Amino acid sequence: MVLILPADDPAAIARAADALRAGAVVALPTDTVYGVAAHGFLNDAVEKIYVIKERPNEKAIPLLLASADDVRQVAREVSPAARRLIERFWPGALTLVLKKQPHLPPAVSATDTVAVRVPDHPVVRHLVRALGAPLAATSANKSGQPELLDAKDIADVLGAWLDLILDGGRCTGGVPSTVVDVSIEPLRVLRVGAIAVEDLMRAA
């Protein structure tokens, strides 16, 4: 039986950080949907996410940061357009595709880019700070299936493969982040989500 702990408990955050350092995969609430997450710098741990979700290997896994100040840990180029979008929409439901730092593990991305976001949710940011590294995270569901919006559903569907679930109640977002490739010019919207394309274009 997977362990379920309250997401607002500092001891639970510390326990989750310890589990992630040991290579575990945990589930946690975000500002959009629940996610499954691993230590973003541990290749073997990130690979577990693909197995759990039955996710195609060619679909890269985004990295979640605690702050926009951390983006240089994972991205080697931040264009002026990317900087404007960061200032306008982070923290929030905007994922940016950027040129990646070469030290990132191949399981995060096998290409020269990486998807990055700063969620507008305190649990994610507290856990990233406690871990001292980005989280490789994607929606808590089997690939192609609806997102799971509370801890009980995650435990029922994915619990056998998880070490820990941080229970933050039912996720109110329910809409995934908008994804924009800012590694190229002009920028390209890859997925329409919680942030409208019109708002993005005005800010960029």
Contact 182, 115 (CB under 8 A): no
For tokens 């240089």, what's the residue? Answer: 72
Domain count, the chain: 1
Q: Residue 53: name the closest of 140, 120, 152, 112 by CA.
A: 140
Across 53-78, average pLDDT? 94
What is the distance between the alpha carbons of residues 69 and 71, in angstroms, rounded to a whole number?
Answer: 6
pLDDT digits (tens, 9 = 90+) for 115-139: 999 999 999 999 999 999 999 999 9
173 — pLDDT class (breaks 50, 70, 90): low
Range of 173's domain? 3-203
Distance CA 9, CA 17 (A): 13
Return the CATH number at 113: 3.90.870.10
pTM of the entire structure?
0.95
d(CA 166, CA 140): 12
